[in-house]
Amino acid sequence: MALIEELDKQGNFLFRWRSYVPGFILLLCLYALKDYQFLNGSYEDNLYYAAACFLVSLIGLAVRCFVIGYAPARTSGRNTKEQVADLVNMEGIYSLVRHPLYLGNFLLYLGPVLYFRNLPLTLVFVLFFGFYYERIMFTEEKFLREKFGKEYLDWADRIPAFFPKWTGFVKPKLSFSFRNVLKREYPSLFGVTVIFVLFDFLANFLNSFASWTAPWEAITEPQIWVFGIGTVFYILVRLVVKTTRLLHVEGR
């Protein structure tokens, strides 16, 4: 019992600080950047590889969007500041995996880590992510077990925690809400876009021997286009979110 309470205490603590996880991973990546070299010594080859890594992050974001697009308010997939659940999600992606948001987070963060082609860095990330989120998942599941009892246990016995099964998908009763996804996930899309542009700029700066007095020499056309489009998108959506109710969906 004492061990369970200690694990629950750790999980609650980590849950409150989980918004800082991307920053920690970013610091690890920036440290690895000091020894970074272009793939095959070519900026063009490296750019294609960066696009592949960016795609990994987009797949993670797509998983998150799938969860949020179908999730009603105050469910086990929508707790952000504390443990909240009026019901347990058992439909949609929750019929395949118990913690799809954390699976999405893993892929979202994995993309930037893979950019460095650094096996020790990747292993550190996987171990850190596994330890950190295992504690949070333990706390969430303890809360749900205590609140919903056999209903939750029966569902949890059938559904894997992190690695999804590929059969038994249950179609959600709610329709997919693109507005809810846009409202909640536009910062994540902009954030990962900025990270990849920053990595590309710094890698180009280190590999092209751009002058410290003229760092803009490391700026490339792809960086300008990606960052420019991402920034315009972010500003427009943020204005809509902050000044209108166009993206508000009742019950979501």
Chain segment 84-138, per-residue pLDDT in tens: 566 778 889 999 999 999 999 999 999 999 999 999 999 999 988 888 888 888 8
Q: How far apart are CA 86 and CA 143, in angstroms?
A: 12
Task: Tell me whether residue 61 is exposed, middle or buried, using C-beta atoms within 10 angstroms of its C-beta: 0 to 12, 13 to 18, 19 or more.
Answer: buried
Distance from the Cα of residue 20 to its chain's centroid: 12
Q: Interior CA angle at 49 toward 57 and 115, to 5°?
A: 55
Q: 54 or 90: whose pLDDT is higher? A: 54
CB atoms within 10 A of CB 99: 23
- Write out the two tokens for 236: 């427009």
- Answer yes or no: is pLDDT of 47 > 90: yes
Task: Tell me whether residue 79 is exposed, middle or buried, using C-beta atoms within 10 angstroms of its C-beta: 0 to 12, 13 to 18, 19 or more.
Answer: middle
- Residue 10 has a pLDDT of 47
Report, as an integer, the average pLDDT of 198-203. Answer: 91
Q: 233 or 13: whose pLDDT is higher? A: 233
- Residue 83 has a pLDDT of 56
Note the pTM of the prediction, 2 decimals: 0.85
Q: 113 or 250: whose pLDDT is higher? A: 113
Mean pLDDT, the chain, integer: 85
Q: Which amino acid type is present at position 70?
A: Y
Q: How far apart are CA 81 and CA 112, in angstroms?
A: 26
Q: Which amino acid type is present at position 27?
A: L
Residue range 155-200, pLDDT digits in tens? 999 999 899 999 999 998 888 999 999 999 999 999 999 999 999 9
- Residue 7 has a pLDDT of 45
CATH code reported for the domain at 2-175: 1.20.120.1630
Percent of the chain with pLDDT over 90: 48
Contact 231, 186 (CB under 8 A): no
Contact 33, 116 (CB under 8 A): yes
Q: How far apart are CA 202 and CA 30, in angstroms?
A: 9
The DSSP annotation for 53-82 comes to: HHHHHHHHHHHHHHHHHHPPSSSTT--SSS
Give residue limits of the domains in the chain: 2-175
Q: How far apart are CA 26 and CA 69, in angstroms?
A: 27
